Structure 1
Amino acid sequence: MRLLSICFCCLLISLNAIAQNATVKGIVTSNGEVLENITIKVSGSKSSTKSNHTGSYVLREVPYGICDLVFSGIGYQTQTVRVSLKADTVTVNADLLSLAANLNDVVITGVNRATQLRKSPVPIAVLSRKTMDQNVNTNLIDAIVKGVPGITAVTTGPNVSKPFIRGLGYNRVLTLYDGLRQEGQQWGDEHGIEVDEYAITRVEVVKGPASLTYGSDALAGVINMIPYTPGFENGKLKGDFTANYQSNNGMIGSSVGLAYVRNDWKYTFRATGKTAHNYRNKIDGLVYGTAFREYNLSASARLDKSWGFSKTAVTYYDNVMEIPDGSRDSLSRRFTRQVLDDGDDIKNRPVVAKHHLNTYVINPLHQHIQHFRFYNTSQFKFGTSDLNVLVGGQQSVRREYNHPTRPNQPGLYVVLNTFNYDLKYNLPGFAGIESTVGLNGMYQVNKSKDATDFPIPDYNFFDIGAFYFAKKSMGKVDVSGGIRIDRRNINWDDFYVGTNMLTGFDKRVSAGDLTGKLQFPSFTKNYYGLSGSLGLTYNISERFLVKANIARGYRAPNITEIGSNGLDPGAHIVYLGNRTFKPEFNLQQDLGMIAYLKDADISLELFNNHIQNYIYQSRLTDANGNPVVIVPGNLTYQYQQSKARLYGAEISINLHPNALKWLSFNNSLAYTVGLNQNRELLDQYGDEARYLPFIPPLQVRTEMKATAQKPIGIFDKPYIKVDAAFFADQDKFYALDNTESFTAGYTLINGGIGSTLITKKGKTICDIFLQADNIFNVAYQSNLNRLKYFEYYNSSPNVRSGIYNMGRNLSFKMIIPL
């Protein structure tokens, strides 16, 4: 009996010991702001959780006794708190210190979980709103070009810039808006990025194949443009008003943004307007056909709960911009304008009157672009895993008016409807491995409306792809990689074009129409792609690291490359596609070295990119070497396909002396070489076919800035800066059939001053920026400026050919908080 009592007592003691578990709860903050998605873990056990959108967390069933709670999160110093658990409920709050932004910026593009820049083996750059505001920008892509080495842009006037990453552009660069892939007519030279530049608060750039996450069209990289999300206190309505004036083309821009937080809801709204007349340079004067007018509207609503969040947003973009063609009087070099359809003679057009050059009124030959976007992005949390869902619909409407005798008749009128879907599941961690599985793609339909020119057929395609991505940290080494498979189906029916008897122009007709001809025979094809990446980062020390990555990218041919057979009136080019084209595949190696020193940040990025089935444009010539003219006054280009190789480097040396905290001296260099490896062309034409088209020359940018560390009267941290952009000669160009020509180098000097104005009590009045681009009004032509090739004469009286880039441009910008 005594033995039984002893056993019973031992059992009670054991049960009591088992029952002695505590609940640990608290709030995680940083400088008074609550932090979401901070991991709280009991050291030495599997017990962990994450803080929610209010910064709160709860850990249950933590055994009594002394334990270590580890608080960790992207961008914050890990904090360990020793706790003695003697009660059922214990409150443990934590206030984390943020890490240096240049060491640990949070990025979400090109990867599948939030990660630090230093941990990602893929070259990634982040551009803040502050940096963009401190430069003169005529559009958002211009801001990115100035802020990220290795990024350039093909331009058609000041309002059209198409991003290129390391010499690759068009559909090889995937642009995202808030994670949703941007779908317009990206295949056209004169088709810009349909985004409100004043609405973007942050830009993230992946330099290298990102097909693993996004599938086709991310062969060169990704640019993610992220709009503002409010994070201030509850019940407050805040906003800003931006006013911007630029002297060169009289650009007037204004934007009003509002944001409101109410309990778990966050609301935003923005309205923007921009207008400009023709831009000016000292060679051409005012360049006819470069005025534009743009409007933007956007709104969003986001709900944050313990289970995750859901955000719904809508945007509207409306842009009317003129179509330049570069026609001139042969002697005076003054611009001329088209006034006839039938009987038009480039050499006998009337000269443009002065009052038509310096007006905000859009001329009859213009294009009208509208872009609608509606999407929802949501995250659902399941303990240590989460599901991310993004669905969205877009409509891109493009009209190009190129008939002076019938100004209301569009030459090109296409409507592109796209449905996007993207699902990513971040699995629970296992053995220190963080992994993601995903499925994404899109369905797209393009239709021509009441038009007279049909460069591409009506088509539809369906994309689907699945991937697996994983990463693991092992001491000083971070390893990540994954694999993906894609399928794209594209098809269209027979497309007949005939004659409109009332106007004499072409129109779409049925197969039985006597005037009709089969311009686009029916087509159906499936494209498949296998892509993947593997990379590592070795943190030699907290201040020095080495990165290496190898990735295989995939891109299916776009619609113009396989299906085009007609005039694009906005580009003044007849494009001819090739139905036999195969998908592009590339294999790129990246090697990077980064040093974060006491007085400097130094980085070196090297890349080597081999592309199979590379597609590019080339002028079409006949057997005698003369240009083929299908539509008078318009060039004819035919797409080619071959092997290609691109290689180069980017170097950044940013000095910020610790003893001179007011001084920064930033320097960057970017160099890219693109080699055409079409052996047949090389054997026949030699150096004329040696290089790829649209490759930027060597570029060096340097900026010196002085920033006051304390307020000076009403000026809070005023700054003054001067910067220079040096572009070398581009003598490595695709010269076959005069597709490109030599471009002389040039140097542009820019400067600016700015400050935040404050009251005596330290309240912000506004931010002001006074800046100047091309201070010395240098006459130059970028080799990526398409207007360089808008020339109709073999020689001219002033020995100048084509149209020059923008001259001196003074800018005043003011941002007033509301």
Structure 2
Amino acid sequence: MKNFILILFIGLSSLYIQAQNNLSGKVTDNNNKPLSNVDVYIGELHKGTSTNENGEYFITNLPNTTVSVTASFIGFQKQTKTIDISLHNTLNFVLNEAVFKMDEVIISTPFNKLQSENVMKVERASIQQLKNKGAATLIEGISSIPGVSQVSTGVGIGKPVIRGLRGNRVLVYSQGLRLENQQFGEEHGLGINESSIESVEVIKGPASLLYGSDALGGVLFFNPLRFADDNTFKLDINQKYLSNTEGSSTSFGFRKSYESWKFLVNSTYQSHSDYKIPSKLRVTNSRFKETVFNTGINYNNKLVSSTLRLNFNNTIIGIPEEIGLQTSTKTHTYPYQDLTNKMISLNTIIFLPNSKIISTFGYTFNDRKEIEEPNTIANPLPALHLKLKTYSYDVKWHLPKLKNFESILGVQGMHQKNKTLGIDVLIPNAQTNDFGVFLTGNYTQNENSFQGGLRFDNRNLATQKNVDTENHVFNAIRKSFKNITASFGYKTTLFGAVTSRFNFAAGFRAPNLAELTSNGVHEGSNRYEIGNNNLQSEHNFQSDVALEYKSTHFEIFANGFYNNINKYIYITPTGAMLNNNYVYNYVQNNAELYGGEFGFHIHPHPVDWLHFNSSYEMVIGKQSNGTYLPLIPANKLTNTLRVELNEKNWLQNAFTAITLESHFKQNKIGDFETPTNQYNLINIGIGGIIKLKKIDFSFNFNVNNLANISYVSHLSRLKVDGIPNIGRNFITSVKFSI
């Protein structure tokens, strides 16, 4: 019997081994010369490897399905090919030398195509590219992407603005989950650190078809840190120093991968003192510190690929109000916020014979405290304390492909509980349930691609009656918001050379809990807010046109949009005062936003190491009564001169760059705003990767605001107090990868 079991086990094992699918091939340049150390990667399986000295690669343990394989190497154009592994097991690549930036696979759109093939225009940047620009924080780096800016409170607090829309109108995705962190508040950050992120993708415009409510204005999609290639081990140590805040950031991480199992762990700690303005005075209580931990486990075989990720982020950040006591201490003082965000996600791909099912299930816990003043009690109650628990699901069935037609049927939703525990009550205890179902398809024929879809959403919100210590009453309400949205896009090539994208999309946003129910002092915003439970959903229709021309040494693009929003929700002052704070009400009116981004890139021959980039971005926002919308970013012109150098044996991605940012005067302002003057900022940077046997040494040295100009951004929340933005800042970053 034992022998029979042993024989049976060996037989089954042999069958399993034989059933495993392998993929191999060779990567060469256009002169048929083998390229070694080329990264060959299958994104959806988290599997990859590097070519050997003969340009050969070999990937094992693959499913019977169609996958997209990407080959990338510094100095060459990235190339992606699709192959049905059940029919073929050999795939070769011929890479051409790169002139412009590499073409990237876009994850945030439904069909995961290369940007050059995508119907929607999506901006993508890796974290390393943002570092090369000298970004002090993640949100500062994102705001360097044309069409994206930030509402900031000093250095440590920033919220994204996409084409003039912000807050709950911009949906943030991380680990495949909606980021739910009371995002209606502008006085706290995202709760995401760059150490857990590989790259960011920006959808500018309505994405309600793909993501539902809160994607009315756009989406920030953070792609999480990538696992190591098969059968490899990676150790990363990163140190960053910022002179202005005397700040430091230390990261440590390791990644280990086998053929079927992959693991990663990463942690970061950073702390900063109050930032200095050009007069060398410090902005009191703009200090902050952040602790981050994230880990991930992946398992894959021929039938399934599953990834479990956990992220923990705690930020303690001061709420600046004046230029007062001058100190360089990093110890927090009052008032400050203590913000904790925890995310757990499980992403699974099940491979069926002619289709696949992709699911993401997650849990997010957000704990937000605002502590106003010292208290003799050992554990004082915060002035504002909100706990938000969100359970979410996202299931997409990629239906069997029919020749040139692809389609996806999906369901998404969440169950959310908000609990108020602080001394003051700004919003009541509440429960929210979302459900959405959608169908989208893509048809490609030669140079023409069509993409469209339809979606239905339902949101149910119920609150409990609350009475705070000052007898502010929050009556119980029950609301239901139903919406149907649709989108259509067309991509083609005009005149044989101009890549053209035309997109038309309807979006919606259900009013958030604060807009419906607020009745108290929002300490971080220094105002008394009163909600309106009669608010209705916002609906918009946006048209986008994106034109792009590329030749060997020249690239030019023009993106234009018009966005009409019905029942736009905004907050406005009443002139009255309560509890020593001005009273603000939430109201609705129709609005429109329009503008775009325009630019070019010159790469002159024969000086192949020289690049000149220029981009201009603008947006105008108006209400139907002719008044301008508040917090619309000023028009901006960015010019960058960049020198690049690659010695593939020992020096890679080396660069020197100088950038001039011209922010124009903003006098198209809302009723309670003041104009902002024009200013110019000069930023310089140098960096690269030095190859030392098995160690990669990356370095970046940047100087932001080189001329130490005193300026105030129109989207700075400290603008009303006359407090300038940060002065000159030297940023040094080094990273060792083994």
- Check the 8 A contact 1:754/1:767 in 2, yes or no: yes
- Check the 8 A contact 2:62/2:302 in 1, yes or no: no
Q: Summarize the Cα distance change of 1:382–1:531 in structure 2 as closer, same or farther, 3 Å threshold.
A: same
Asked if 1:784 corresponds to 2:704, the answer is no
- Check the 8 A contact 1:325/1:572 in 2, yes or no: no
Instruction: Spell out the pairing of 1:250-329 with structure 2 (5 A cutoff).
Output: 250-283=246-279, 285-326=281-322
Q: Summarize the Cα distance change of 1:421–1:233 in structure 2 as closer, same or farther, 3 Å threshold.
A: closer
Q: Summarize the Cα distance change of 1:779–1:477 in structure 2 as closer, same or farther, 3 Å threshold.
A: same
Spell out, residue by residue over 1:5-64, the C-alpha distance to the aligned partner (whole angstroms, 9 max, x if none): xxxxxxxxxxxxxxxxxx99862446466554899xxxxxxxxxxx997375779xxxxx
Asked if 1:483 corresponds to 2:457, the answer is no
- Check the 8 A contact 1:28/1:34 in 2, yes or no: no
Q: Summarize the Cα distance change of 1:80–1:554 in structure 2 as closer, same or farther, 3 Å threshold.
A: closer
Who is 1:733 aligned against? Answer: 669
TM-score by length of 2: 0.88
Instruction: Spell out the pairing of 1:692-771 with structure 2 (5 A cutoff).
Output: 692-710=629-647, 716=652, 718-734=654-670, 736=671, 739-759=672-692, 763-771=694-702
- Check the 8 A contact 2:465/2:476 in 1, yes or no: yes
Q: Summarize the Cα distance change of 1:173–1:458 in structure 2 as closer, same or farther, 3 Å threshold.
A: same
Q: Summarize the Cα distance change of 1:172–1:460 in structure 2 as closer, same or farther, 3 Å threshold.
A: same
Instruction: Measure how far apart 1:310 and its partner are.
Output: 0.3
1:417 is paired with a residue whose SS is strand
- Check the 8 A contact 1:128/1:203 in 2, yes or no: yes
- Check the 8 A contact 1:35/1:54 in 2, yes or no: no
Distance in 2 between residues matched to 1:649 and 1:672, nearest whole Å? 6
Instruction: Measure how far apart 1:93 and its partner are.
Output: 2.3
- Check the 8 A contact 2:310/2:343 in 1, yes or no: yes
Who is 1:192 aligned against? Answer: 189
Identity across matched positions, percent: 27
Asked if 1:560 corresponds to 2:514, the answer is yes
Distance in 1 between residues matched to 2:338 and 2:21, nearest whole Å? 57
Amino acid aligned to 1:152: S
Asked if 1:525 corresponds to 2:479, the answer is yes
1:285 is paired with a residue whose SS is coil
Instruction: Spell out the pairing of 1:391-406 with structure 2 (5 A cutoff).
Output: 391-404=361-374
1:54 is paired with a residue whose SS is strand
**Aligned to 1:430, which of 402, 427, 442?**
402
Who is 2:595 aligned against? Answer: 648
Who is 1:440 aligned against? Answer: 412
Distance in 2 between residues matched to 1:90 and 1:189, nearest whole Å? 53
Instruction: Measure how far apart 1:669 and its partner are.
Output: 0.8
Instruction: Spell out the pairing of 1:21-60 with structure 2 (5 A cutoff).
Output: 27-29=23-25, 31=27, 36=42, 54=60
Who is 2:114 aligned against? Answer: 116
- Check the 8 A contact 1:615/1:639 in 2, yes or no: yes
Who is 1:410 aligned against? Answer: 382
Instruction: Measure how far apart 1:432 and its partner are.
Output: 2.1
Spell out, residue by residue over 1:751-797, the C-alpha distance to the aligned partner (whole angstroms, 9 max, x if none): 011122333xx55441111110000110000010001113xxxxxxx
Who is 1:228 aligned against? Answer: 225
1:106 is paired with a residue whose SS is coil
Q: Summarize the Cα distance change of 1:93–1:57 in structure 2 as closer, same or farther, 3 Å threshold.
A: farther
- Check the 8 A contact 1:52/1:306 in 2, yes or no: no
Residue ranges of structure 1 left out of the alignment (5+ in a row): 1-22, 40-50, 60-69, 82-88, 327-333, 336-351, 499-505, 507-516, 622-627, 683-689, 791-801
Instruction: Measure how far apart 1:90 and its partner are.
Output: 10
Instruction: Spell out the pairing of 1:28-427 with structure 2 (5 A cutoff).
Output: 28-29=24-25, 31=27, 36=42, 54=60, 76=79, 93-97=90-94, 102=101, 104-109=103-108, 111-146=109-144, 148-234=145-231, 236-283=232-279, 285-326=281-322, 335=324, 352=325, 354=326, 357-404=327-374, 408-427=380-399
**Aligned to 1:676, which of 608, 613, 623?**
623
Distance in 2 between residues matched to 1:447 and 1:130, nearest whole Å? 38
- Check the 8 A contact 2:610/2:642 in 1, yes or no: yes
Distance in 1 between residues matched to 2:332 and 2:352, nearest whole Å? 54
Amino acid aligned to 2:729: N
Q: Summarize the Cα distance change of 1:283–1:97 in structure 2 as closer, same or farther, 3 Å threshold.
A: same
Q: Summarize the Cα distance change of 1:123–1:252 in structure 2 as closer, same or farther, 3 Å threshold.
A: same
Number of residue pairs aligned between Structure 1 and Structure 2: 687
Distance in 2 between residues matched to 1:468 and 1:242, nearest whole Å? 43
Distance in 1 between residues matched to 2:317 and 2:523, nearest whole Å? 14
Amino acid aligned to 1:379: I
- Check the 8 A contact 1:661/1:709 in 2, yes or no: no
Q: Summarize the Cα distance change of 1:78–1:177 in structure 2 as closer, same or farther, 3 Å threshold.
A: closer
Distance in 1 between residues matched to 2:226 and 2:477, nearest whole Å? 44
Asked if 1:662 corresponds to 2:616, the answer is no
Q: Summarize the Cα distance change of 1:814–1:103 in structure 2 as closer, same or farther, 3 Å threshold.
A: closer
Who is 1:4 aligned against? Answer: none
- Check the 8 A contact 1:24/1:90 in 2, yes or no: no
Instruction: Measure how far apart 1:592 and its partner are.
Output: 0.9
Amino acid aligned to 1:775: L
Asked if 1:492 corresponds to 2:428, the answer is no
Who is 1:503 aligned against? Answer: none
Who is 1:63 aligned against? Answer: none
Instruction: Measure how far apart 1:710 and its partner are.
Output: 2.7
Instruction: Measure how far apart 1:305 and its partner are.
Output: 1.1
Instruction: Measure how far apart 1:420 and its partner are.
Output: 0.7
2:535 is paired with a residue whose SS is coil
- Check the 8 A contact 1:36/1:53 in 2, yes or no: no
Amino acid aligned to 2:296: S
Who is 1:511 aligned against? Answer: none
- Check the 8 A contact 1:283/1:804 in 2, yes or no: no
Amino acid aligned to 2:252: V
Amino acid aligned to 1:788: K
Q: Summarize the Cα distance change of 1:674–1:439 in structure 2 as closer, same or farther, 3 Å threshold.
A: same
Distance in 2 between residues matched to 1:150 and 1:660, nearest whole Å? 30
Distance in 2 between residues matched to 1:90 and 1:486, nearest whole Å? 40
Distance in 1 between residues matched to 2:518 and 2:696, nearest whole Å? 54
Instruction: Measure how far apart 1:199 and its partner are.
Output: 2.0
Instruction: Measure how far apart 1:664 and its partner are.
Output: 1.3
Distance in 2 between residues matched to 1:172 and 1:91, nearest whole Å? 45
Amino acid aligned to 1:225: F
Spell out, residue by residue over 1:64-87, the C-alpha distance to the aligned partner (whole angstroms, 9 max, x if none): xxxxxx997676466999xxxxxx
Distance in 2 between residues matched to 1:616 and 1:461, nearest whole Å? 22
Q: Summarize the Cα distance change of 1:91–1:309 in structure 2 as closer, same or farther, 3 Å threshold.
A: closer
- Check the 8 A contact 1:126/1:204 in 2, yes or no: yes
- Check the 8 A contact 1:206/1:221 in 2, yes or no: yes
Distance in 2 between residues matched to 1:52 and 1:586, nearest whole Å? 49
Who is 1:798 aligned against? Answer: none
Instruction: Measure how far apart 1:156 and its partner are.
Output: 1.0
Asked if 1:619 corresponds to 2:578, the answer is no
Amino acid aligned to 1:546: S
- Check the 8 A contact 2:314/2:339 in 1, yes or no: yes
Distance in 2 between residues matched to 1:238 and 1:72, nearest whole Å? 24
- Check the 8 A contact 2:645/2:653 in 1, yes or no: yes
Compare 131-140 and 203-212 and name the one that shifted more.
131-140
Distance in 2 between residues matched to 1:72 and 1:392, nearest whole Å? 26
Distance in 2 between residues matched to 1:616 and 1:290, nearest whole Å? 27
Who is 2:530 aligned against? Answer: 576
**Considering only aligned residues, what root-mean-square deviation do their CA atoms show, in Å?**
2.7
Spell out, residue by residue over 1:463-495, the C-alpha distance to the aligned partner (whole angstroms, 9 max, x if none): 000000000001210000101010000111211
Q: Summarize the Cα distance change of 1:132–1:29 in structure 2 as closer, same or farther, 3 Å threshold.
A: farther
TM-score by length of 1: 0.80
Amino acid aligned to 1:282: P
Asked if 1:817 corresponds to 2:737, the answer is yes
Distance in 2 between residues matched to 1:276 and 1:72, nearest whole Å? 43
